Amino acid sequence: MLTKQNIIEAQARIAPYIHTTPLLTSGQLNARCGNTIYLKSEHLQKTGAFKIRGAANKVTQAVADGANYVTAASSGNHGQAVAYIAQALGIKAKIVVPEDASACKVGAIEGYNSTVEKCGYLSSDRIPRAKAIAEAENGVFIPPYDDPLIMAGQGTIGLEILQQLDNIDAVIVPIGGGGLISGIATAIKESNPAIKVIGVEPVSANDTYLSLQNGAITAIAGTTTIADGLRTIQPGDCTFPVVQKYVDEIVLVSEEEIKEAFTFVLERMKQLIEPSSATVIAACMFNKLPFEGKNIVAVISGGNVDMADLSKIIKI
State the pLDDT at residue 122. 75
Residue 106: the pLDDT is: 87
Catalytic-residue membership of 75: yes
Distance CA 292, CA 33 (A): 8
Compute the residue count for the chain: 316
CB 218 within 8 A of CB 210: yes
pLDDT of residue 200: 98
pLDDT computed for residue 314 by the predictor: 87
For the entire predicted model, the pTM comes to 0.95
pLDDT at 242: 98
207-230 b/e (C-beta count within 10 Å ≥ 16 → b): bbbbbbeeeebbebeebebbbbbb
Residue-level pLDDT at 196? 98
* pLDDT recorded at residue 92: 97
Round to whole Å and give the CA distance between 28 and 307. Answer: 26
Instruction: Choose the catalytic residue: 40, 46, 51, 105.
Output: 51
Query: Of 26, 74, 75, 102, which one is the catalytic site residue?
Result: 75
pLDDT (tens place) for every residue of the chain, 316 residues total: 899 999 999 999 999 999 999 999 999 999 999 999 999 999 999 999 999 999 999 999 999 999 999 999 986 899 999 999 999 999 999 999 989 887 777 888 999 999 999 999 877 788 899 999 999 999 999 999 999 999 999 999 999 999 999 999 999 999 999 999 999 999 999 999 999 999 999 999 999 999 999 999 999 998 889 998 898 889 999 999 999 999 999 999 999 999 999 999 999 999 999 999 999 999 999 999 999 999 999 999 999 888 878 888 987 7
The DSSP bridge pattern shows strands 170-174 and 249-253 to be unpaired
